[in-house]
Amino acid sequence: MSNDLYIYYRVAASNAQQFNSAAAAMQAGLSQQHRIVSALKRRPETEDDRHTWMEVYASVPPDFAQVVEQAAAQHGLARFIDGPRHTEFFVNISSCA
């Protein structure tokens, strides 16, 4: 079974453009270096002047969260994030029995 990694957190709406640029650059590097598919998503609405963002990494090894955290530190994402980054793995389940 393959693992998909989801990481979500809050970013002030006023920092959205700067954060998007930094996170997109980080994901482009990770995708190229590790030959993975990644996506960056954001909820359309704001709550308390913050957006919820989500990084998605498809079919990655179980230790990939550490790789992402190192890349996030190198790209300075923490300066934009308000609160903790929540990391969750999900596995793909075959629809055939």
State pLDDT tens for residues 24-61.
999 999 999 999 999 999 999 999 999 999 999 999 99
- Domain of residue 81, residue span: 3-91
Residue 96 pLDDT grade (very low, low, confident, very high; cuts 50, 70, 90) = low
Phi, psi angles (nearest 5°) of residue 56:
-125, 135
Collapsing DSSP to helix, strand or coil, 76 comes out as: coil
CATH of the domain at 75: 3.30.70.1060
Mean pLDDT of 10-23: 97
CA angle 69, 70, 72 (to 5 degrees): 60
Residue 60 lies in a domain: yes
Provide the number of structural domains found in the chain: 1
Under DSSP, the state recorded for 78 is G
Residue 24 lies in a domain: yes
Residue 87 has pLDDT above 80, yes or no: yes
Instruction: Name 51's bridge partners.
Output: 11
Residue 37 lies in a domain: yes
Residue 68 pLDDT grade (very low, low, confident, very high; cuts 50, 70, 90) = very high
User: How many whole angstroms separate alpha carbon 19 and alpha carbon 14?
Assistant: 10
pTM of full prediction above 0.85:
yes
Residue 96 lies in a domain: no
Give Cα 11 distance to the centre of its chain.
Answer: 12
Residue 70 has pLDDT above 60, yes or no: yes
Residue 97 lies in a domain: no
